[in-house]
A and B are shown apart, each in its own frame.
Chain A
Amino acid sequence: MLRYIGKRLLISIVTMFVILSLLFLLLEFMPGSPFNDEKLNEQQKELLYEKYGLNKPIHERFFIYTTNILKGDFGVSYTIEKNAPVSRMLETRMPISIRLGLQALVFGSLIGVVLASIAAVYKNSKWDTMTTIFAVIGISIPSYVFALGLSYFLGYKLTLAGYPIFPMTYNLYRPIQSSILPTVALSMFVIATVARFMRTELVEVLGSDYIMLAEAKGLTAKKVIFRHSIRNALIPVVTVLGPLTVGLMTGSLVIERIFGIPGIGDLLVTAISVNDFNVVIAISFFYSLFYIIMALFIDVIYGVIDPRIRVDKGGE
């Protein structure tokens, strides 16, 4: 098991390095400049490039860039928050995004599992059909469409004695109440994905011999479903956690914008549009890092959930 994790870890580090190099090159070729080009003369531009170390040869900058990142120094922002260290910008924004992502993941998984269980147990009933329709809609419609719908109908239209029940925009000072709508919007994709995978798996599990045996032993339906079926059906769900995380990250890019959430998704979108290179690099770095850790985590937890895998690896 340890050797297995070690190998996975090594691959992750190499992947990370490749991502970093690609990022650097891509931004190098991106057109545009973060500075006030129209008004500056050559000499003034030179001063600026000198100040930010942009006039050094490319290989030298790449070396500085990688060593600085390893030290946790992502440089300063050129435009969004001029001259502020990027790490400080992320400090306040990262927790907000992580919390939102986790809320959506937890909420989405729970609802997804419930929906899937209902659909599988009452297979081919109208509940099943409804779940399937919901899943198809949830996967095919992008989360920002939900976001706009929610913010308009629940945030704007729905009021109680003149006061909105769900605030349309995020409020830093009331984070729980004001993050309900964005969480729901973001979790649609999670609910749909989990429900779809889980249902298929549950149906298969419910039809298998050992469930028949459990039923034959006289176990209650409750026990059969909770003890024997759901646990086994959860395995494929764990495998989609990776794509789900990616879905959450890309979803957050737009959701954060719509609901005015000061997170890193929103920051990334802004940074790309104003050529704030250091910010783009830092956030992409964390997104990649997060994804790689998630992949690693899934590989490990796979073994925890399914003892057969654990035994296999342990026997190496």
Chain B
Amino acid sequence: MKKVIVFLMMMVMIVATFSGCGKKEEAVEGKYLRIAQEVDLPSMDQHVATDGLSFEVIAATIEGLYSVDKDGTFIPAIAKSYEVSEDQLTYTFTLRDDVKWSNGDAVTAADFVFSWRRLLSPEQASEYNFIGGVAGILNADKVVAGEVPGEELGVVAQDDTTLVVTLDRPVPYFLSLTAFSTFFPLNEKFVTEKGADYASSPENLLANGPYKMATWDKGYGFRLDKNPDYYDATNVTIAGLDYRVMKDNQTATLEYDSGNQDVVKLAAELVDKYKDNEEYTQIESGYLWYITPNNQTEVFSNVNVRKAFQHAINKQQIVDKILNDGSNVANFIIPIGLATGPDGKDFRESAGTYSEYDVALAQEYWTAAKAELGDTIEIEFLFDDDGTVKKTAEFIQAELETNLPGIKVSLKAQPKKNRLDLMTAGDYEVGITRWGPDYADPLTYLELYLTGATLNYPNYENAAYDVLVDDSGKGKLAGDAQGRWDAMIEAERIFLEDDAGITPLFQSGYAFLINPKVTGIESHAVGVPFIYKNVKIAD
């Protein structure tokens, strides 16, 4: 008995020892915006990060050349202004001279040069290094491949406040990329000194933006305090951002209800309960989910089959019954909120809608298709082996078999990696995929379907489409804002209406609960998902 007691007491003592791990919290005076987050913060290193949360927190602490306002317009940040050469190939940025890193160093043009070279260096092997080529920076892809040294990258610091960027082709959306976290500056001295430890904890980070990281308890949460040295600090009115990792959605929502959190993402099953409340907020993300038919197969090379597909599926049901998470039906490929045209309007306001649900129309096309292909048509439907996608696929199967008599749909679930491999190789008939934008321009979608493009899963080929897209990208329309805009609207129409290249399903979104006292959270479908600089919290 005595030994058992000793054993138990030993246990109690161990427990007591570990309990001593509790830490003290020191916060700044004032109100914090409390954000419940489903995932840990993967990285504070902008050249390691690949996810929205990391990009958003990095953007809260570091500013780039340009930033983006709540309407999606690009506004000067560290750059005061810029000039573009006539051939659209040289951008000269003039930087502010009053921006400081949190260690006191000035932010200079050299910080951008260092950062961009680091992003593309083969040693860094950043998962986002493809973006250098997307931005069209001279020699970007060659630097990544190790063919030329970083010094030959098309970015030069002429002096402390002048940054000159040379592109290899006109890139109409180049400015939008300067507002994206990967292109933010880095202090070379600090980053080199910290080495592998850079960005691993608040002590190993520098800020030049509205907030700076104060605590980071891995897996638990992190806190950003207002940065008093920020050049625009007077316009930052809250004490900071307090992130707490809560992987269980129910718990997070209960904490919101108890007044312990200000921002919480809702799970699909809770949406109905809160849908009518004031604090319920839907936020669009840039992801477009769509059915991609392989236009090279016998069945789907038939345009009537593809058109029948476009109209045969009740997407509203998918959005309301299966997802119920703030996603919206998509009858287009360029998502809402992705890009603003020269007229200041969203692309979607100027472009049309296509592929609406219409069973009668679908059956008309289907009858025409059957006249050409025969009475029974069997297809194999490929999709990711994942809960929601699977449900969506099953629903589509049912819709097709009900609305298109004579079709037989067999389902083929694959792990995502395999699914991507099959689609890239063109070794499939039809399936579900998605695409998230890399930059705020319709081209990020339209270029996917150029003849022979790697990610052209539908294997779409149309010379007229190619011309329109090429012209508005690097071609003759690159310098003509309105002309290229019209061309892109027309390209989308050809792709969806004339050729039914794909069947769009929905634009994914998120349902949030946001404390009504909080205003000024700016969300964006592309680039940095949330910007918190202008947040205000009422009493």
Contact = CB atoms under 8 A, between A and B. Distances in A.
B507 to A, nearest CB: 17
A37 B251 contact: no
A32 to B, nearest CB: 5
B420 A80 contact: no
A174 interface: yes
A230 interface: yes
A260 B260 CA distance: 14
Contact of B245 (A82, A164, A262): A262
B8 interface: yes
B3 A227 contact: no
B390 to A, nearest CB: 15
A37 B219 contact: no
Interface in A171-197: 172-176
Interface residues of B, number: 63
B21 interface: yes
A109 B8 contact: yes
29 contacts: A31-B416, A33-B417, A36-B128, A37-B416, A38-B436, A41-B454, A44-B125, A44-B129, A48-B125, A83-B196, A88-B200, A92-B219, A95-B21, A96-B18, A152-B254, A155-B254, A156-B254, A156-B257, A156-B258, A169-B251, A172-B22, A172-B217, A227-B1, A257-B247, A259-B248, A260-B220, A260-B245, A266-B219, A270-B39
B415 interface: yes
B220 A172 contact: yes
B48 interface: yes
A80 B15 contact: no
A155 B125 CA distance: 46
A79 B42 contact: yes
A92 B258 contact: no
B24 interface: yes
Given A40-B127, A266-B219, 12 more contacts: A32-B415, A38-B435, A41-B130, A81-B41, A82-B43, A102-B18, A106-B12, A106-B15, A155-B254, A172-B217, A227-B1, A258-B248
B125 A51 contact: yes
B125 A32 contact: no
Contacts of A25: none
Contacts of A169: 244, 246, 251, 255, 260
Given A43-B144, A47-B122, A48-B127, A305 B245 contact: no
A13 interface: no
A226 interface: yes
B438 A39 contact: yes
A304 B3 contact: yes
B18 A98 contact: yes
A276 B220 CA distance: 18
B438 A270 contact: no
A10 to B, nearest CB: 26
B254 A43 contact: no
Contacts of B22: 172-176
Contacts of A263: 219
Nearest to B385: A31
Contacts of A38: 420, 435-436, 455
Contacts, number: 161
B415 A31 contact: yes
A169 B264 CA distance: 14
A93 B436 CA distance: 33
Interface string A103-114: 101100110000
Interface string B233-253: 000000000001111101100
* Interface bracket on A: 35 or more
B11 interface: yes
Contacts of A80: 40, 42
Contacts of B127: 35-36, 40, 44, 48
A148 B14 contact: no
A60 B511 CA distance: 47
Interface string A1-37: 0000000000000000000000000000001110111
A50 interface: yes
B25 interface: yes
A155 B513 CA distance: 20
Nearest to A77: B42
Contact of B248 (A93, A109, A156, A260): A260
A282 interface: no
A80 B54 CA distance: 11
B220 A151 contact: no
Contacts of B11: 102, 105-106
Contacts of A258: 248, 250-251
A44 B246 CA distance: 33
A89 interface: yes
Contacts of A33: 417
A192 to B, nearest CB: 19
B418 interface: yes
Contact of A175 (B12, B14, B21): B21
Top 4 nearest A-B pairs by Cβ distance? A31-B415, A262-B219, A99-B18, A262-B220
Interface in A275-312: 301, 304-305
Contacts of A121: none
A37 B248 contact: no
B111 to A, nearest CB: 22
A156 B244 CA distance: 18
A205 interface: no
B471 interface: no
